[in-house]
């Protein structure tokens, strides 16, 4: 029975050992699986990528980008036990724990902006990454270059005229067009900004200089007039930098208008920069020409003046004046257009032709100052046509003291007198009347009024009208008488006595 049982027992023993072996194998498999989970799963074995240098790199425009790179390590822990990890890491040393890092991403330093560079490394089925931001920026301001011209200067008190400039930015290129400039207290300030807002400034100190002397303008140039006449010096001076410098003009020399002779006046002026100019004027004071030389310079002068013509009798008058070689003055109008050409004959004979207005109509000429000068200029146009030149001499219709003008425009005479002076015009009244405008209608009446009027006067300005036959008739006798008495007849000039009455309106 025992023998029978033995094999049976042996079989039982075999089966038990197999089961134990199987169980051990199962346990080992479980252990390795757990270790595997610890190694690669739960305990985070990984590839760590670490940047070299900063996470954010700032680069100036066009500054080359030198990537500092990154490094990678395959790392992890086991059971979180340092001693054990130390052991494990020694084991790892023999393996590849420093995988190669690959960088991707493009940095264009010719373009402003932010760029991303990515770093990646892999080992044992694990991958790690890291990123770096590269900012390409422009912090450099543009550069302004000021151009200068040789020997350049600005007139004091004048704005600076630009010599030129350039502005260049590394990033934006030519910014010359964007430069703004302003001038203040002798300095020009320039500013320009690039598109990144970097501002450049420059300054230019203006060099002021004045190398041109003032110009003196002598009104009338060289002048000549008769003894006893008056002359008022008039000049102005203009400097390129300072403008009107008339006040700075110094006049040397003087004129004695009571003594015939040639006088020289010297005008000098100097600007603030020491530029001087000098001009001279010759002033000739002429002796009064008289038929009787022994009476030269006696000062007894008659200025015959004839208004309202030319007319029907004017040519007869010219003949009488010619007969005695006497010169007179005609204040002409457009009253008798048929005789207009006589104006030319008057001038040709050496008489003075002056304006007495075109219409001689009070309501027209004294309506306004503009109306007056319009009418005046119309007559001057005719004078210019007949004589070849315009005149600055005139007589107001009714004289400067007339009050009839107040009927048309209050205060007009005061305004006209002032405007005439501003224009450099001279107006004449009279201090002797022939009476031919009212009281007298005969040659003998005119004659006696004239004789009485000039007697005892050094300078007589006689009011006559060449449109009156009796006045023209009276002249032969009157001139003959006056010449015998030693009077000299002269035509009016700008320097002659004006015989002003005084303004009443």
Q: How many CB atoms lie within 10 A of CB 122?
A: 16
CB of 419 to Zn ion, least distance (A): 20
C-alpha–C-alpha distance, residues 319 and 65, integer Å: 110
Residue 308 interacting with Zn ion (CB under 5 A): yes
CB of 383 to Zn ion, least distance (A): 16
Q: Which stretch binds Zn ion (CB under 5 A): 123-131, 220-228, 234-242, 301-309?
A: 301-309
CB of 374 to Zn ion, least distance (A): 18
Q: Which stretch binds Zn ion (CB under 5 A): 5-13, 23-31, 215-223, 302-310?
A: 302-310
CB of 256 to Zn ion, least distance (A): 36
- Determine the angle formed by the axes of helices 469-484 and 443-454, rounding to 10 degrees: 40
Q: Which stretch binds Zn ion (CB under 5 A): 16-24, 130-138, 307-315, 438-446?
A: 307-315
CB of 431 to Zn ion, least distance (A): 17
User: What are the strands, taking DSSP E only, across 154-275?
Assistant: 165-169, 173-174, 180-184, 187-193, 199-205, 215-218, 223-226, 235-239, 243-244, 250-252, 261-270
* DSSP secondary structure letters along 339-364: GTTHHHHHHHTT-EEEE--SS--HHH
Q: Rule CB under 5 A: which of 38-67 touch Zn ion?
A: none
Nearer to Zn ion, 141 or 309 (CB): 309
CB of 331 to Zn ion, least distance (A): 7
CB of 308 to Zn ion, least distance (A): 5
Per-position x/- string for 256-295, each x denoting binding to Zn ion as judged by CB under 5 A, each - no binding = ----------------------------------------
Nearer to Zn ion, 190 or 339 (CB): 339
Nearer to Zn ion, 132 or 465 (CB): 465
* DSSP secondary structure letters along 423-469: HT-EE---SEE-STTTT--SHHHHHHHHHHHHTT-SEEEEEEETT-H
Nearer to Zn ion, 169 or 307 (CB): 307
Nearer to Zn ion, 76 or 310 (CB): 310
C-alpha–C-alpha distance, residues 174 and 168, integer Å: 5
Nearer to Zn ion, 357 or 488 (CB): 357
Nearer to Zn ion, 281 or 465 (CB): 465
Residue 375 interacting with Zn ion (CB under 5 A): no
Q: Which stretch binds Zn ion (CB under 5 A): 4-12, 45-53, 299-307, 340-348?
A: 299-307
Q: Which stretch binds Zn ion (CB under 5 A): 29-37, 132-140, 305-313, 474-482?
A: 305-313
Residue 346 interacting with Zn ion (CB under 5 A): no
Nearer to Zn ion, 309 or 497 (CB): 309
Residue 484: exposed, middle, or buried by beta-carbon count in 10 A (0-12, 13-18, 19+)? exposed
CB neighbour burial string for 465-474, b if at least 16 within 10 angstroms, e if fewer: bbbbebbbbb
CB of 360 to Zn ion, least distance (A): 6
Residue nearest to Zn ion (CB): 307
C-alpha–C-alpha distance, residues 349 and 346, integer Å: 5
Sorted by sequence, the CB contacts under 8 Å of residue 82 that are 6+ apart come out as: none
User: What's the angle, vertex CA 501, arms to CA 498 and CA 504, rounded to 5?
Assistant: 135
CB of 220 to Zn ion, least distance (A): 28
Look at residues 424, 309, 312, 414 and name the one whose alpha carbon lies nearest to residue 356.
309
Nearer to Zn ion, 172 or 307 (CB): 307
The answer to whether 231 and 145 are in contact (CB under 8 A) is: no
Nearer to Zn ion, 307 or 346 (CB): 307
Q: Rule CB under 5 A: which of 398-457 touch Zn ion?
A: none
How many helices (H) and strands (E) the chain has is answered by 9, 27
User: Can you state the percent helix, strand and coil of the chain, rounding each to 5?
Assistant: 30, 30, 40
- Which three-class secondary structure string do you get for 107-166? CCCCCCEEEEEEEEEEECCEEEEEEEEEEEECCCCCEEEECCCCCCCECCCCCCCCCCEE
Q: Which stretch binds Zn ion (CB under 5 A): 17-25, 189-197, 304-312, 485-493?
A: 304-312
Q: Which stretch binds Zn ion (CB under 5 A): 37-45, 115-123, 285-293, 308-316?
A: 308-316
> What DSSP element (H or E) covers 301?
strand 301-307
C-alpha–C-alpha distance, residues 47 and 78, integer Å: 15
CB of 277 to Zn ion, least distance (A): 46
Nearer to Zn ion, 273 or 362 (CB): 362
CB of 389 to Zn ion, least distance (A): 23
C-alpha–C-alpha distance, residues 208 and 211, integer Å: 10
Nearer to Zn ion, 169 or 308 (CB): 308
The DSSP bridge partners found for residue 191 are 180, 201
Residue 307 interacting with Zn ion (CB under 5 A): yes
The residues binding Zn ion (CB under 5 A) are 307-308
């Amino acid at each position: 029975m025992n023998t029978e049982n033995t094999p049976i027992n042996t079989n039982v023993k075999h089966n038990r050992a197999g089961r134990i072996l199987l169980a051990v194998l199962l346990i080992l498999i479980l252990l390795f699986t757990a270790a595997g989970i610890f190694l690669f799963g739960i305990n985070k074995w990984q590839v760590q990528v670490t940047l070299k240098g900063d996470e954010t790199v700032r680069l100036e425009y066009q500054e080359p980008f030198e990537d500092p790179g990154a490094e990678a390590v395959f790392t992890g822990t086991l059971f979180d036990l340092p001693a054990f990890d130390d052991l494990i890491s020694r084991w790892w040393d023999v393996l590849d724990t420093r995988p190669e890092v690959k960088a991707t991403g493009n940095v264009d330093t010719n373009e402003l902006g932010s760029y991303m560079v990515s770093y990646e490394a892999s080992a044992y089925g694990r991958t790690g990454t890291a990123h770096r931001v590269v900012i390409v920026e422009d912090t450099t301001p543009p550069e302004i270059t000021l151009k200068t011209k040789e020997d350049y200067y600005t007139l004091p008190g004048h704005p600076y005229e630009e010599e030129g400039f350039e502005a260049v930015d590394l990033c934006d290129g030519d910014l010359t067009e964007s430069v703004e400039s302003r001038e203040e207290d002798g300095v020009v300030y320039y500013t320009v900004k690039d598109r990144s807002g970097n501002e450049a400034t420059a300054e230019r100190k203006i060099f002021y200089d004045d190398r041109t002397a003032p110009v003196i303008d002598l009104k009338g140039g060289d002048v000549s007039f008769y003894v006893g006449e008056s002359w008022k010096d008039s000049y102005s001076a203009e400097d390129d930098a300072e403008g009107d410098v008339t006040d700075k003009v110094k006049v040397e020399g003087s004129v004695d208008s009571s003594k015939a002779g040639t006088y020289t006046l010297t005008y000098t002026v100097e600007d603030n920069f020491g530029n001087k100019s000098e001009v001279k004027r010759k002033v000739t004071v002429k002796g009064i020409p008289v038929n009787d030389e022994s009476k030269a310079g006696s000062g007894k002068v008659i200025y015959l003046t004839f208004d309202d013509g030319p007319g029907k009798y004017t040519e007869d008058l010219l003949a009488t004046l010619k007969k005695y070689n006497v010169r007179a003055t005609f204040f002409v109008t457009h009253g008798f257009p048929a005789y207009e050409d006589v104006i030319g004959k008057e001038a040709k004979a050496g008489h003075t032709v002056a304006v007495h207005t075109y219409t001689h109509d009070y309501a027209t000429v004294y309506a306004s100052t503009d109306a007056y000068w319009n009418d005046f200029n119309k007559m001057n146009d005719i004078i210019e046509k007949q004589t070849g030149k315009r005149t600055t001499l005139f007589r107001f219709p009714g004289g400067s003291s007339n009050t009839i003008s107040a009927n048309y425009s209050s205060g007009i005479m005061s305004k006209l007198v002032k405007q005439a002076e501003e224009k450099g015009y001279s107006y004449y009244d009279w201090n002797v009347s022939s009476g031919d405008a009212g009281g007298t209608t005969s040659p003998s009446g005119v004659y006696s009024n004239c004789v009485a009027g000039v007697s005892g006067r050094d300078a007589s300005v006689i009011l006559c009208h060449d449109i009156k036959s009796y006045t023209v008739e009276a002249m032969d006798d009157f001139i003959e008488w006056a010449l015998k008495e030693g009077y000299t007849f002269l035509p009016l000039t700008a320097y002659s006595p004006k015989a002003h009455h005084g303004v009443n309106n």
